[in-house]
Chain A
């Protein structure tokens, strides 16, 4: 609006300092698109194999998981999917918290909860893929 006071501390300075101090939001925007392309293939492929192919979810059990993770290809598939999905989804939730949290303290604690849950899922999921033992 025209009535507000412009927040310029040096209105006559030849060059104003850039308002943007970091490119983090630019990179996270780009990451959402790049990881999104990869996740379209990884996740839709995963859902097709697990829910549609053969007998779908009915055939999934410990032996089925052991058979898949015997192959480095599916280990790599699942590991990539875990990290990309968790970072993509976590960044999406970060944006949503920023949009809808109305108090800074709410925003802070919701983000802490988000980051802790992301860390738990990433560490646990990675450990499970790397330490899986079919003869347990």
Chain B
């Protein structure tokens, strides 16, 4: 009925998992990473609004929950969160340049290496500073 047909070697209703659309261009992986970092950030945002809402319960309850953010394990997750958000932001700028800048599509791949470079340049000092806070800072 439809003109958008499935590949001829696939029987209707067969599992899509038998094949894959992912063919491995770096631009495709940048898109996969964009989705993963976006979903992770969205789930964190859900938790983060709930923990901040504890300021309406009492200062003691809020401080108690926030103190768990100051432990080494959650501190490592925070470094991961910063890395995820930073990638999502940089790649989002790249997506906008591909969409709105005339030469964007032609330079999509060099722009990917550029954002990887910027990510490393920002993440290395940020991670060092955050580790210093986590392991060197006095727990409140």
A contacts, CB < 8 Å to B: 1, 3-7, 33, 36-37, 39-40, 43-44, 47, 51-52, 55-63, 65-66, 82, 85-86, 89-90, 92-93, 96, 102, 117, 121, 124-125, 127-128, 131-133, 136
A52 to B56, CA, bound (A): 26
Residues of chain B lying within 8 A (CB to CB) of residue A128: 49, 52-53, 55-56
Q: B2–A57 contact, CB under 8 A?
A: no
Query: Are B86 and A58 closer than 8 Å at their CB atoms?
Result: no
Given known contacts A58-B140, A61-B62, A62-B55, what 9 new A-B pairs fall within 8 Å (CB)?
Answer: A61-B63, A65-B55, A65-B62, A66-B55, A121-B45, A121-B50, A124-B53, A125-B53, A136-B56
How many Å lie between the Cα of A1 and that of B56 in the bound state? 60
Q: Inside 8 A of B2's CB, which chain A residues have their CB?
A: 4, 7
- Once A56-B133, A57-B70, A58-B70 are accepted as A-B contacts, the answer to whether A92 and B49 lie under 8 Å apart by CB is no
A-B contact pairs, 25 of them (CB 8 A): A1-B3, A36-B96, A47-B81, A47-B85, A56-B129, A56-B137, A57-B78, A57-B133, A58-B70, A58-B140, A60-B66, A61-B59, A61-B62, A61-B63, A61-B66, A62-B59, A63-B59, A65-B62, A66-B55, A92-B39, A92-B42, A121-B49, A124-B50, A125-B52, A128-B55
B45 touching A86, Cβ below 8 Å: yes
CB of B39 within 8 A of CB of A4, answer: no
Residues of A contacting B134 in the complex (Cβ-Cβ under 8 angstroms): 56-57
Give every chain A residue within 8 A of B45 (Cβ-Cβ).
85-86, 89, 121
How many A-B pairs with Cβ below 8 Å?
120
What residues of B have a CB within 8 angstroms of the CB of A121 in the complex? 45-46, 49-50
A7 vs B5: C-alpha distance in the bound complex, in angstroms? Answer: 13
How far is B55's CA from A92's CA once the two chains are assembled, in angstroms?
Answer: 29
Partner of A51, one of B50, B52, B78, B89: B78
**Interface residue total, chain B, C-beta cutoff 8 A:** 48
A43 touches B89 (CB 8 A): yes
A62–B95 alpha-carbon span in the complex (Å): 38
User: B46 touching A58 by the CB < 8 A rule?
Assistant: no
Contacts of A89 on B, CB cut-off 8 Å?
A: 38, 41-42, 45
Q: Which 9 pairs between the two chains have the least Cβ-Cβ distance? A: A62-B59, A56-B133, A89-B42, A1-B5, A58-B137, A125-B49, A36-B92, A40-B89, A4-B3
